[in-house]
Amino acid sequence: MTERKRVRVTDGHHSANVTADGLKQVKLLQCIASYPFAQQESPYQNLTPQAYLTHNRVLQLDIIVPFSPDLRDKYAGLVPRYYSQRNTLSNFVEFAISHFEKYSALSKLLALGQSSSDTDDVWCLDYRGVLTLTVGKETYEELGLTGKPFLGKNVEISMVGFVHIFLSESAPNTNEAKAQGWHSLGAKQKGFLKSWDQRRGLWDIRMTFDQEIAPSNNELSLQEMTPIVRQMNNTKIPQFNLEYASQQSNTDDERSDWNEEVQAYFEWVGMACMGSERLQNEDDVDPYLAVYDPPLSFRVGDLLHVRWTGLLHPTFINRALDLSLESPYAALVGQSVATSPVTYISPPPLSQSQPRAPREDSEDTWALLFSHTNNSNNSSDVRWVLAESIGQWDARWG
């Protein structure tokens, strides 16, 4: 059954002299940092996140900015890493605990365990130090642990329950927390993991760390993600007007016009990420064969398109965002790992996650567009629009 999509658009502005590192209390960065597992399916290949975890397919982040030799060289110097191994979940948990003891839970270790051909059971470890298991009926009945039931009776998927195990600290010791499937890692939980390993065997695990941490483990296979950088010349570029900023005085007609304009901007971003020839100024394709019109107000210039493929850490995305803020405008496009039980963690102090259906065709994407504008004080502000799209079987928005 195809999962329907839901879309939400938010916007805002902040002072242009604030870097990404200083934006921790700004909604823009909170939105992006809330996605712990960032990836985007390649527009050039028919690849799914599930296929990537099995066959080392593509995970990626795209950035579109005005061309600049200086920015091109800076982006090219950003080379993140991720690691892979085959291991039991019990052994991985011991590795994660030793990592937390060495670096603390704030080291932001992220990991994913893929499902196998005969089960949809999956798990992930997020930067809170929480191991989340999403399991089918057979595994759920054998757990011996209280879990949170799935979203509703009409969800036509095999997932039935969620279990959360704190590896780095104790879980909240309340009946409500236990009823929601929150546990500390004790003897009972370790016993379940070992028995599950005996029945299931090894997992294909992908993990990533904060860029400053290089784990010393010979059993980990290192993958470096050298970006693909390309220049797009003679391209139609919109004159971005993002100054709506949720003003209450706008009329219904003005809001409708603004919504249509923003939709056209994001369509342009998608075409740019695909390297579409329809954006070329000299493009004269027959309109009966390919119908696309850029936003009405545009100019012709050169673009820089940067792409990283692999499991990306949110601290890396923050670095890419910080660098992109040097441009007069930029677009960042990403998609969370569809088969991860957790794709979004709310900003502090809550830092909560909601149940979702981790399927190959699950939807969880975001696209950020921002531009610099002059304010009344003759200084520059950054105005931004963030579009998020999630599936119907994601409880983040209810």
Check pLDDT > 50 for residue 397.
yes
What is the Cα–Cα distance from 284 to 244, expressed in whole angstroms? Answer: 33
Q: Do 18 and 167 sit in the same domain of this protein?
A: no
Residue whose C-alpha is closest to residue 214's, from 22, 115, 82: 82
Across-strand partners of 161?
135, 149
Q: Which residue has the higher pLDDT, 250 or 7?
A: 7
Q: Does 166 share its domain with 69?
A: no
Do 233 and 197 have their domain in common? no
> Using an 8 Å Cβ cutoff, are 331 and 59 in contact?
no
Kindly report, residue by residue over 250-303, the tens digit of the pLDDT.
Answer: 677 877 888 888 899 999 999 999 999 889 988 877 767 777 777 878 999 999
354 and 373 together in one domain: yes
pLDDT (mean) for 68-79: 95
Measured over the CA atoms of residue 331, residue 9, residue 238 and residue 275, the dihedral's sign is: positive
pLDDT (average), residues 161-190: 75
Domain ranges, residue 239: 5-80+225-397
The answer on 147 and 116 residing in a single domain is yes
- Single out the residue in 171, 198, 218 at which a domain terminates: 218
DSSP β-ladder status, 203-208 and 110-113: antiparallel
Residues 301 and 184 occupy one common structural domain: no
Quick check: 79 and 224 in contact, CB under 8 A? yes
The model's pTM = 0.84
Indicate whether 87 and 51 sit together in one domain. no
Q: Both 23 and 156 in a single domain? A: no
Cα–Cα distance measured from residue 49 to residue 270, given in angstroms and rounded to the nearest whole number: 19
11 and 46 inside one domain: yes
Shared domain check, 129 and 40: no
Q: How confident is the model at residue 70 (pLDDT cuts 50, 70, 90)?
A: very high
Q: Which of 218, 244, 279 is the last residue of a domain?
A: 218
Among residues 177, 197, 218, which one ends one of the domains?
218
Are 123 and 31 members of one domain?
no
As a dihedral over the C-alpha atoms of residue 352, residue 155, residue 45, residue 35, rounded to 10 degrees, the angle is -10
For the record, the structure tokens of 319 come out as 């670095």
Residue 361 CA to residue 244 CA, distance in Å, equals 33
The residues pairing with 166 across neighbouring beta strands, listed in sequence order, are 130, 184
Please report how many Cα atoms fall inside a 13 Å half-sphere around the Cα of residue 20, on the Cβ side. Answer: 17
* Number of domain units in the chain: 2
Q: Are residues 265 and 249 in the same domain?
A: yes
